[in-house]
Structure 1
């Protein structure tokens, strides 16, 4: 596994690149899926048009990453999905989901595949269970715009299907020449990105992140960073990001993603030393939790 010192070489562009390591991960046709317990091609699967999950975004979802066919922190992701369902008053068929995830992974991923695959779980108000595999993408350093947002406290901490606001925030950022949005409350508190947790380092070298009491999602990747590095949870004001030495986003599809610019404020030497340590710490957690006998090689890694 690459050490923290050498991890910077892999970040060459801001494009997302799909993983093609070790050939195609899927042996099933199209997009391997399990819809209400039936293994199928997710590209041709159907659902009733009257399902409120489709009509009103009334449902919950979860998104996790599989390394060499092994789901990372599955228990934690299912716990968070259960919390989302509790907030939304949705039934949560945990044992059914556990069995269907195992069946889908066994059916949809080539034995011996050593790459990375993402897995999405969707539960709708109409009672549909959808689990499907997606190609993993690798994200280079991002540029971020500050977008004002008024959080809805009633949905705080829940991963609901009502993601239009998050997607709009990203489009607003793209219209302003950035790839991602950093959400800011009307009174100037920075909370999170539209789909990721936010970390920054102070001029004194302290790694910080907004606390969960700010109404942000309890990010699984954020938990890993807090577990393995010394992090101060504190409220972030807009002025804090413009004195930061480093910044990065943390989330399942991004893992640890360096930030190279916030508005017109650019960072030098991206990724910085603290960000490199976060990347290495996250990858070490994957290595240890999934108990790989040999170091797992990330598709974006280079020989050191």
Structure 2
């Protein structure tokens, strides 16, 4: 049976990727089955948004990559200038050959190839993989009416602050919302808000924008800093503190943020309306500020 019969290459797009120092076609890229990323999920990743081929918040993404690698006792295998060059080459290639106006650059670094053993071996050559995909932004209908989300207990591990490739917990959490016909799964650890399956969650009450504290239970999204900057520019109060389930369900507005969602309003949670059941004024101000930050890339 050939590879295409197994679905190995038939569904892969004909795009350029980067693997261990070389650019190649995604369908031709190969990694050892003994790579610790494949065996253990022993690696980290980043998703860098590019608007018109221009990386957005590049420095902040690199800072988080460094933090995640340090938690795995690894050093960054490439200088930032090289990461930037790879990202721009792949984003421009996808834009020029496939017409993708905006791109997501997926970066993955694993510990490398070794005989299977749980202990962390030293001296390995890291596996470095980068690919580009089209960034699909929220639709005008979603922005006008808001989206539906569901809730679930946060059953993932206690080191959610690491952007780890070990994402089975997030996969299960996201499937909960898919099964319910919703956009995201908002999760709680005990009585307190943590985050969504692949997004951060923001609570707005009486004009105050609130998010969970930066600790090991939440991945610090790049939009943490950006939303704080926008709030400061818009004259909005911004707080990071523990947020209870009751506060979430009594919020005036609930928002999601991520690379592709940017800032997105939640109109219904567990089939109950959030606030007035439609996007609110704070969302409008944050989204406008976000678009100003994007526009500054080409200014």
TM-score range, shorter chain: 0.7 to 0.9
Aligned twin of 2:223: 221
1:182 and 1:282 map into 2 onto residues whose CA distance is 22
* Deviation sequence 1:20-53 (CA, Å, 0-9, x none): xxxxxxxxx8122111121122133221111110
Aligned twin of 2:127: 128
1:274 aligns with 2:282: yes
Aligned twin of 1:144: 149
1:248 and 1:83 map into 2 onto residues whose CA distance is 26
Aligned twin of 2:203: 200
CA contact (8 A) 2:156 2:170 kept: no
Aligned twin of 1:78: 62
Compared with structure 1, are the counterparts of its residues 276 and 214 closer, same or farther at alpha carbon in structure 2 (3 Å cutoff)?
A: farther
Compared with structure 1, are the counterparts of its residues 270 and 32 closer, same or farther at alpha carbon in structure 2 (3 Å cutoff)?
A: farther
Aligned twin of 1:20: none
Aligned twin of 1:211: 213
Q: Give matches, 1:257-268, under 5 Å.
A: 257-267=264-274, 268=276
Report deviation, 1:264: 2.6
How many residues end up aligned between the 2 structures? Answer: 259
1:196 and 1:108 map into 2 onto residues whose CA distance is 25
**Any unmatched runs of 5+ in structure 2?**
1-12, 113-125
1:239 and 1:214 map into 2 onto residues whose CA distance is 22
Structure possessing the higher relative contact order (Cα contacts under 8 Å, 6 or more residues apart): 1
Query: SS of 2:286's equivalent?
Result: helix
1:114 and 1:181 map into 2 onto residues whose CA distance is 28
CA contact (8 A) 2:16 2:24 kept: yes
**72-81 or 259-268: which moved more?**
259-268
Query: SS of 2:96's equivalent?
Result: coil
CA contact (8 A) 2:91 2:105 kept: no
Compared with structure 1, are the counterparts of its residues 177 and 101 closer, same or farther at alpha carbon in structure 2 (3 Å cutoff)?
A: closer
RMSD: 2.1
2:147 and 2:272 map into 1 onto residues whose CA distance is 13
CA contact (8 A) 2:54 2:88 kept: no
Query: SS of 1:208's equivalent?
Result: strand
1:118 aligns with 2:104: yes
* Deviation sequence 1:5-25 (CA, Å, 0-9, x none): xxxxxxxxxxxxxxxxxxxxx
Aligned twin of 2:291: 283
Report deviation, 1:56: 1.6
1:64 and 1:46 map into 2 onto residues whose CA distance is 23
1:100 aligns with 2:100: no
2:91 and 2:186 map into 1 onto residues whose CA distance is 34
2:131 and 2:42 map into 1 onto residues whose CA distance is 19
**Any unmatched runs of 5+ in structure 1?**
1-28, 294-304
Runs of 4+ in 1 over 6 A off after TM superposition: none
Pick aligned residue for 2:41 from 37, 57, 68: 57
